[in-house]
Amino acid sequence: MTPIMEKRAIVFLAIAVSSAFGQSDGKLVEAPRFWNDHDLSDWATPVAGLNVRPGHYSEKQYYAAPVGELVRTYAVYFPGREPVGYLDMLRNAKPEPLITPGARTIADWIKDGKRVFHEMDIPYLRSYDAKLAEILRSADDFKKVGGHPQKDGTVSALRWVPTAKGLALGIQDCATCHSRVLPNGSILDGAPLNDPGDGVFRTFVGHDSASFLEFFSPGETRDMVAWRFWAVPWVPNDINEILKSPPPGFDPRDLGALFSTVGIVPRFNSSPFYPTKIPDLIGVKDRKYIDHTATHLLRGPEDLMRYAALVSCCDTASRTSYYSRWRSTFSRSSRPRIRTSAIPEPRPA
């Protein structure tokens, strides 16, 4: 990792919600070292049916992982709807840190949190495939795979990402699932997804790109990785076993588009057979627990920061730790590949 990348500090979007928790009196606030063993120890609640509290990557493991290349990203417009000069601007754009490190006022944290919510993409799902990018230059070709503009001409879920390796096409992280198109065409942040996206987007979330497989389980097939994503090995006759060698014609991806129109997704830890409802993030500050089955406590903004990191890089460990008996089901790696939070963060007092 280069020194420039080292400086690419990302402090989490959950801070966006911190307006609700914090006071805005102009004081400069440092990001906490939120991934710490003390607060992680009793953060997760015991898993139903097992009565075992999942663990997490330790503070040491998390901070030893390299920071992901989290950079500023730009909207993708439906062909012909982009502002004048947009494509030239993108071609010349250099990678820039998504946000910079350092203390700032609560108002500035909120501003930067919003940026992270909208701009952060998923680094291991970037594509440099010129053919895929080409589809986005022809309205006819893009329409054929379900491409459609929002009212402002942008396309949901896709982002242009200037990276150290050149201009990539990426997918938006939080805002893809946690924003909703209203009947008047405006977009409401925080409410659950209702736009199924398009064929270009689905190519990324298809879980068979080389970088996705490399991130989750190097050397394995897509089917095996899908099974690890959703398996519940302590349930007798786990229905997800079928994913290891699915019958011809069965593709869990087909279900994804259908589900997303009604705000549910087969996210990791759920299943294509039991997809999870995307909760409304509006009002999350008043909840005491996170997720429908209260998988984690919500004690304040730091728990939201932990949750954002958990779902972006570091969930595997919570699954590997159920019991050593099932450790090998979920992952063959015992350390995070990247982390998503800032360096340097102050050590706890």
Using the minimum distance from each CB to ligand HEC, give the nearer residue, 28 or 52. Answer: 52
List C-alpha distances in Å: 14 to 11, 101, 301, 313: 9, 15, 7, 15
What burial class does residue 25 get, using C-beta atoms within 10 Å of its C-beta: 0-12 exposed, 13-18 middle, 19+ buried? exposed
Among 73, 127, 176, 179, binds ligand HEC (CB under 6 A): 176
Q: How far apart are CA 247 and CA 135, in angstroms?
A: 31
In the chain, what is the greatest distance between 2 CA atoms, to the nearest angstrom? 60
Question: Cα(229)–Cα(240) distance, rounded to whole angstroms?
Answer: 10
Report the sign of the C-alpha dihedral through residues 147, 151, 154, 157, in that order.
negative
287 binding ligand HEC? (CB under 6 A): yes
Tell me, what DSSP letter sits at residue 104?
B
Question: If binding is defined by CB under 6 A, does position 178 make contact with ligand HEC?
Answer: yes
Question: In the stretch 310-349, what mask flags binding to ligand HEC with x, by CB under 6 A?
Answer: -xx-------------------------------------
Task: Confirm or reject binding of residue 279 to ligand HEC (CB under 6 A).
Answer: yes
| Alpha-carbon span 1 to 324, nearest angstrom | 33
Contacts 24+ apart (CB under 8 A), 82-86: 82/153
Q: Which one among 39, 119, 173, 302 touches ligand HEC, defined by CB under 6 A?
A: 173
Number of residues located near ligand HEC, criterion CB under 6 A? 25
* Position 281 contacts ligand HEC (CB under 6 A): yes
Tokens of 112: 């930067």
Nearer to ligand HEC, 168 or 265 (CB): 265
Whole-angstrom Cα distance, residue 14 to residue 114? 9
Contacting residue, 243, 304, 314, 342, with ligand HEC by CB under 6 A = 304
Are 128 and 162 within 8 A, CB to CB? no
Among 177, 200, 213, 231, binds ligand HEC (CB under 6 A): 177
Q: Give the phi and the psi of residue 67 in degrees, each rounded to 5.
A: -75, 130
307 binds ligand HEC (CB under 6 A): yes
Identity of the residue, 89 or 188, whose beta carbon is nearer to ligand HEC in the bound complex: 188
Per-residue contact string for residues 78-117; x = within reach of ligand HEC by CB under 6 A = ----------------------------------------
Q: Which value, to the nearest 10 degrees, does the dihedral of the CA atoms of residues 288, 294, 296, 300 take? A: -20
Structure tokens given for 148: 């459609």
Interaction between residue 297 and ligand HEC (CB under 6 A): no
Q: Which is nearer to ligand HEC, 67 or 290 (CB)?
A: 290
Nearer to ligand HEC, 135 or 177 (CB): 177
Contact 168, 127 (CB under 8 A): yes
Please say which residue, 108 or 189, places its beta carbon nearer to ligand HEC. 189
Residue 56 within binding range of ligand HEC, rule CB under 6 A: no
- Using CB under 6 A as the criterion, what x/- string covers residues 232-271 for binding ligand HEC? ---------------------------------x-x----
Helix (H) or strand (E) holding 92: helix 86-92
Phi, psi of 224 (to 5 degrees): -65, -40
Tell me which stretch binds ligand HEC (CB under 6 A): 83-91, 92-100, 275-283, 320-328: 275-283
Task: Give me the DSSP letters along 20-36.
Answer: HHS--SS--BPPP--S-
Give the interface segment with ligand HEC, choosing from 46-54, 96-104, 139-147, 291-299 (CB under 6 A).
Answer: 291-299
Does 308 bind ligand HEC (CB under 6 A)? Our answer is: yes
Q: Considering only residues 73, 156, 240, 276, which one is a binding residue for ligand HEC as defined by CB under 6 A?
A: 276
> For residue 258, how many other CB atoms are within 10 A of its CB?
11
Residues contributing to the site for ligand HEC (CB under 6 A): 13-14, 173-174, 176-178, 265, 267, 276, 278-279, 281, 284, 287, 290-293, 295, 304, 307-308, 311-312
